[in-house]
Amino acid sequence: MWLKIRNEKGQVEAPFQLLIAAVMLGMLLPIAFYLFSQYQVWESQERVRNNMETLARELETVANLGEGVKYIDIDLSVYSGPDFRVDYFTLRNPGEGVCMEGCHTPHCWVIRAMMNDTETGREMLVAGLPQVCIRIPFNVDFRSSGCESIPGAEGQYEDLTTNLEPGFYRIVAIKKGYTVYLCKPKEEG
């Protein structure tokens, strides 16, 4: 026969090479799934962090301008999973020590992503989401109460809680003198 197979060794090694390929694929698939899930967590953290930064910059703008009203639409939705969970966001004045240490300014407010530890019942910062500083002039004060009695806007707004559940918000920042009121529009109906 003029087509004689000279090396039959390839036919003997083929099943072994196939077995090695199957083992390698079996080892790589879990790694690929792990990396994909980590990417989803990272993507969610980055989206939330960017929205927290946007809210902080908008509030800084209001604090540095003259009197007026600014509507801020912000999405604080969170796609929680087993590796990433946000129960609520806090908007607070942490005190001068935290402002100097974390924000490098003596007067600030911060936005923090928080979660409740189910084992201890304590609130804690969400890992991977550092607090976001809102740098404001020393003579400006943020308030989240008193919205119903703002002169010239009585009854139009209600107080905004400083613990915000994840979701979409329309925040009204009203600056009167040296005070910025953080409110939400009254729901009609």
Divide the 189 residues of the chain into consecutive groups of 10 and give the mean pLDDT of each group: 54 77 88 86 85 90 84 79 78 83 86 85 84 87 82 79 82 85 76
Provide, for the chain, the percentages of residues in helix, strand and coil under a 3-state DSSP scheme, each rounded to the nearest 5.
35, 30, 35
3-state secondary structure of 110: strand
Is residue 108 within 8 Å of residue 138, measured between CB atoms?
no
Residue 40 DSSP label: H
Q: How many CB atoms lie within 10 A of CB 37?
A: 14
| Angle ∠(143,100,147) on CA atoms, nearest 5 | 5
Enter the pTM of the model: 0.74
The amino acid at residue 144 is S
Can you give the pLDDT at residue 1? 45
Domain extents for the chain? 34-185
Is residue 126 within 8 Å of residue 115, measured between CB atoms?
yes
The dihedrals phi and psi of 111, each to the nearest 5 degrees, come to -110, 125
